[in-house]
Chains A and B, each alone.
Chain A
């Protein structure tokens, strides 16, 4: 333990050392920038002031005395510089990279020191680091980068929002959309006006020296500071794993209140310039709200559909598929920003609309790429945002006013609590599953403010109040992130709030979810009113008949959801199997149940299956079972059941099988795994033939294989089933050895239980 601590502390020392080293790079960079800026000229070389002056003099002289200049330069010919130093022209990318590197090293450092990261959420630690770095930069006397509007809203925020929107749990979101909208719209409005009003009241207090702050400025301040921030919410809630309902409520609210914030902000800013407010203005404000939010969503949906449509044709250029997703989404965001619509809602809409169609079209690798890139970018962005927040806190000009700041924090808290309680009272009248007091507490407590408020504060034009506002905003942010962020986890434990269920989706749950959907729709129809399920059902049918056909390539467009789900699960499991097999691990079987136990043991009716005798069948069974018991592997929930038609087929099929395997290796895609049984597939004979042949190769090579390669056997149920004669079933167990070569992933040997009656007959005739 002590050794570990020493090691971890030494690593911490290393990271701090790197941190100092990286910040030291900023000094020369910043200083040369200052001097160049002062001189107004930049030549390629970095140098002291003297050289710059000299060059300028030379330039001035050269316009007058051309010949003398050339003469003088000829006289002072320098030797060819072997090694030169030219920092300025790489300065910008260099510094950006350094900042990102710093952020990532910090992130790395925190996870190495485990104790701290359990108590303190990462966001707090990052802000502290930012404070330190800001302090260092200030101590050196340089200008630190500031979390300005452009940097934040155009570069740092979109990846986070896209990540959130693309992976938004749509079902939960749509189920609770009413509640979320009420919290987002009405809640934010209430917060803005309450905070603005109360702060105006506070400003009227004698002796607070705040008399210059008028009502509109207060309202502006209120609108900036009242919005729940998605970045902060994500950062804190990700670590506490509460149940999906609460998560989606707070998170959804933080996303959707962007429209309200945008409108209110622009509204109050316009008004504070204009000076007076009329009823018409207020009415236009309301109209503006609808335009902003619905317009944003419309933009997002259009770009999403474009993206989905484009992805339909990318089957030949798989490498650039992820880029389409990213670029269309970013364009949606920027286009919305052009018109001052809500960029966040546009981005979310784009991600949500695009996702189901794109995922049906793109390859598995592209899907993984998209997932990882989004996570990566959003992670980096989040880290940078918090660090910059710390840096900007130290750097920015502050105007501390005790009354204002303290009251801001108090009023924000009070308004949030009152807002949530009041709104929940209203909402519970319409909700079926009501929100309990515990839920309300978490929703209220989870209303964190973050960098959006800060960046918006930066845009305030009146510099005198701006500093005071910024100080207050920073205090609120710090308070919510530090105090609320740190204490929410113990509170969640204390109140025993339901946590997210960790188990993966099982196929039974999926079947029953679909079953319930249809059942509830049916019951609603019998009851005669058009409820939630009815409209959902209608949307699904519309989606299936019209939209999917346009946006999904090939046969996937008709694939029902249950089957796609099943395929995806099989794929995941197959990949897991391959991975665990290739690392030479054979975990103990969790369950020894196989399909054999589940399938009804019908007596083999000899009449139905010609030509294979019962004794032969028993022999085969015994042999296979023996092999199987030797190489038992952990059976997860799904059997990789595959078709074993007839053990004794001719080597024509075997050769064909080998060729198919080689061919399969070249096509790694989800498409080949779907369960569409066409005659074509019967000919190419995907997995069916493969297994039973492999049984026999495995058989003969059995001892060698077991020692040389870790067999990655999958227990299969194979069944043959004559289409014409559905009552007879021949069950065989076969051990299938998957190829260890990279190309041939088990992922392709999927559940293709469809028997081919022609192969059946072939097989049976030979024996």
Chain B
């Protein structure tokens, strides 16, 4: 018992350093992982698709894809996994950590970049580094897909207007002949500057025993 405990603790320590979660949070997430995977070591797409609560979500497919996207593992690979292990699961989840009081301004900036990168990867499905008009249109269509039969034209209009806005804020003077290829990551950051992603894109991760959370730990 002692040996396995230290081994899993070491493993968790490793994960804690990599992802920044606390021990309780990792344990809770591991429990959830095992529940989702049916006590297997890996999760496949079918496991995630079987979550009933997700069925109403218009972004279901994109969210599930994001988990299997290699780009979100922070190691500069591209492509898709077929199955993910707990570590990959945690890496994706770590994008949704909130900042805390001790986070410095640079760390907040880095956090924001990371979260925006995650969003960017979700939009840029063909991984060419830019969000083209077609891809953006698809985003808006998906967003409106569960909201009733408004039709493709509305989505297109909105996506076109949005793209135009990105272009006009980032490259204000284009000759009529120039063509704006698509939204690069820098433009994406620029256009969403006002939303302060680090304070918005987060969820609450449960720490089961908040009272036992010690200050000195490497938390968040």
Contacts and interface: CB of A to CB of B under 8 A. Distances in A.
Interface in A579-630: 590-601, 625, 629
Given A432-B202, A563-B144, A597-B174, A508 B166 contact: yes
A758 B199 CA distance: 49
A527 B93 contact: yes
Given A506-B165, A506-B191, A595-B164, A558 B148 contact: yes
15 contacts: A506-B194, A511-B158, A520-B202, A527-B93, A531-B203, A560-B144, A560-B150, A562-B143, A591-B169, A593-B173, A600-B133, A637-B161, A637-B164, A677-B151, A755-B153
Given A434-B100, A625-B176, A754-B153, A598 B167 contact: yes
B164 A638 contact: yes
Nearest to A503: B194
A429 interface: yes
A600 B173 CA distance: 18
B57 A591 contact: no
Contacts of B51: 525-526
A560 B58 contact: no
Contacts of B139: 511, 515
A676 interface: yes
B160 A518 contact: no
Contacts of A560: 144, 147-148, 150
A98 to B, nearest CB: 47
B171 interface: yes
A717 B160 contact: yes
Contacts of B180: 593, 597-598
A273 interface: no
Interface residues of A, number: 70
Given A559-B150, A600-B133, A637-B164, A526 B192 contact: no
B20 interface: no
B96 interface: yes
B36 A526 contact: yes
A524 interface: yes
A428 interface: yes
Interface string B112-141: 000000010010000000001110000110
Contacts of B56: 537, 541
Given A528-B32, A596-B176, A641 B160 contact: yes
B192 to A, nearest CB: 6
Contact of B161 (A522, A534, A537, A638): A638
Q: What is the size category of the interface that chain B forms with chain A?
A: 35 or more
B175 interface: yes
Q: Which of B54, B153, B172 has the most CB of A within 10 A?
A: B153
Given A507-B165, A518-B143, A523-B96, 11 more contacts: A508-B191, A515-B139, A524-B203, A525-B53, A526-B36, A560-B150, A562-B158, A592-B172, A593-B168, A639-B164, A641-B160
A600 B36 CA distance: 42
Interface of A: 428-429, 432-434, 436, 501, 503, 506-509, 511-516, 518-529, 531-534, 537, 541, 544, 558-560, 562-563, 566, 590-601, 625, 629, 635, 637-639, 641, 675-677, 717, 751, 753-755
A600 B168 contact: no
B202 A512 contact: no
A597 B167 contact: yes
A509 B195 contact: yes
A531 B175 CA distance: 49
B157 A751 contact: yes
B140 A531 contact: no
A511 B188 CA distance: 13
A754 B35 contact: no
Interface in B171-214: 171-176, 178-180, 191-192, 194-195, 199-206, 210
A677 B154 CA distance: 9
Given A511-B139, A592-B174, A566 B161 contact: yes
Contacts of B199: 433
B179 A751 contact: no
B93 to A, nearest CB: 7
A520 to B, nearest CB: 6
Given A518-B57, A522-B63, A638 B165 contact: yes
A601 B173 contact: no
Nearest to A505: B194
B159 to A, nearest CB: 8
A284 to B, nearest CB: 33
B43 to A, nearest CB: 10
B101 A595 contact: no
A596 B210 CA distance: 56
A526 B29 CA distance: 10
B91 interface: no
B115 to A, nearest CB: 10
B119 A515 contact: yes
A502 to B, nearest CB: 10
A593 B57 contact: no
A590 B165 CA distance: 12
B203 A523 contact: yes
Nearest to A529: B206
A592 B180 CA distance: 12
B110 to A, nearest CB: 17
Contacts of A521: 57
A456 B149 CA distance: 55
Would you list the 8 A-B pairs with minimal beta carbon distance, nearest first?
A560-B147, A591-B168, A754-B153, A525-B53, A591-B172, A637-B165, A522-B63, A593-B168
Contacts of B45: none
B166 A527 contact: no
Contact of A520 (B54, B96, B100, B158): B96
Nearest to B192: A512
A686 to B, nearest CB: 13
Contacts of B169: 591, 637
A676 B60 CA distance: 26
A537 B203 CA distance: 14
Contact of B59 (A503, A511, A515, A754): A515
